[in-house]
């Protein structure tokens, strides 16, 4: 699923374009990814998280519900079925998922999944799995810091929010009767996710520093 979302994002989105803010915010483009994420959250991530003790983590469940709300608003639930921000949907719902692919391997062998963790650490697993897990840790850190900690806030604060500011100043007729509520809500949710990504990026960066810091030395605060 994550590979599919990543490929769809890379196929349908570019950082540079010649579109106007109104076209980027209001013109329906690549609309199936919000629908896809709505279904994924409503019928898989949220039910699975609620029914599986090791996955029922409060911050992650809040993230899933916020993702469901974001996808629903992008799909047009508050704007008369008129999609909003569908131009950047391939980035927010697609491209950034590239960092989640190696995370799946790392998370599988996390101590919270005791059976898998014991299998990997008690010499029962083949060496190739240990090397795969180590490689995925490095890949995850690089991809997360690049796409979620740097690019995600950049697109939000230098693309989406300026575009939303322009569009909210238009009359209802000029923006195809799309009300203010979904536009303001999308701005809030983008900002919320950006700060969340930067916080998680800080946590990941701390782990990277810890991994490369000699055990006798303290990890510097950043």
Residue 209, C-beta contacts closer than 8 angstroms, at least 6 positions apart: 219, 220, 222
Residue 221: predicted pLDDT = 57
Residue 217: predicted pLDDT = 55
Residue 220: predicted pLDDT = 55
Residue 218: predicted pLDDT = 58
Handedness of CA 195, 60, 155, 23 (dihedral sign): negative
Mean pLDDT per block of 10 residues along the chain (222 residues) reads 95 86 90 92 95 86 93 95 93 95 93 88 86 94 96 96 96 93 96 93 90 65 54
58: number of Cβ within 10 Å: 7
Give Cα 194 distance to the centre of its chain.
9
What is the rounded distance in angstroms from the CA atom of residue 17 to the CA atom of residue 183? 21
């Amino acid at each position: 699923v994550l590979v599919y979302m990543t490929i769809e994002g890379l196929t349908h989105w570019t950082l540079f374009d010649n579109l106007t803010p109104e076209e980027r915010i209001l013109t329906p483009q690549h609309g199936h990814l919000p629908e896809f994420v709505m279904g994924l959250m409503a019928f898989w991530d949220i039910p699975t998280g609620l029914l599986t003790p090791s996955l029922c983590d409060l911050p992650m469940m809040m993230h899933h519900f916020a993702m469901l709300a974001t996808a629903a608003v992008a799909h047009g639930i508050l704007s008369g079925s008129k999609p909003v921000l569908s131009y950047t949907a391939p980035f927010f719902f697609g491209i950034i998922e590239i960092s989640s692919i190696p995370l799946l391997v790392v998370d599988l062998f996390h101590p919270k999944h005791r059976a898998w963790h014991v299998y990997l650490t008690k010499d029962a697993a083949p060496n190739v799995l240990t090397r795969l897990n180590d490689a995925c840790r490095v890949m995850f850190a690089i991809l997360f810091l690049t796409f979620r900690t740097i690019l995600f806030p950049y697109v939000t604060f230098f693309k989406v929010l300026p575009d939303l500011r322009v569009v909210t100043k238009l009359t209802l007729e000029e923006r195809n009767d799309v009300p203010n509520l979904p536009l303001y809500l999308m701005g809030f949710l983008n900002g919320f996710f950006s700060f969340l990504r930067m916080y998680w990026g800080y946590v990941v960066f701390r782990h990277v520093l810890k991994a490369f810091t000699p055990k006798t030395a303290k990890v510097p605060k950043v």
